[in-house]
Amino acid sequence: MKMPTLAEKTSLAEKTCTPCRGGVPPLGRAEAEALLAAAPDWTLMDEARRIERGFRFGNFREAAEFVRQIGELAEAEGHHPDIAFGWGYATISLQTKKIGGLHENDVIMATKIDRIFSRRQGLPAGRM
Residue pLDDT, tens place only, 109-123: 999 999 999 988 444
Per the confidence metrics, is the pTM higher than 0.85?
no
Q: What is the pLDDT of residues 11-64, one digit of tens each?
A: 776 766 666 666 789 999 999 999 999 999 999 999 999 999 999 999 999 999
Q: In angstroms, rounded to a whole number, what is the distance separating the alpha carbons of residues 100 and 32?
A: 14
Classified as helix, coil or strand, 90 is strand
- Count of residues making up the chain: 128
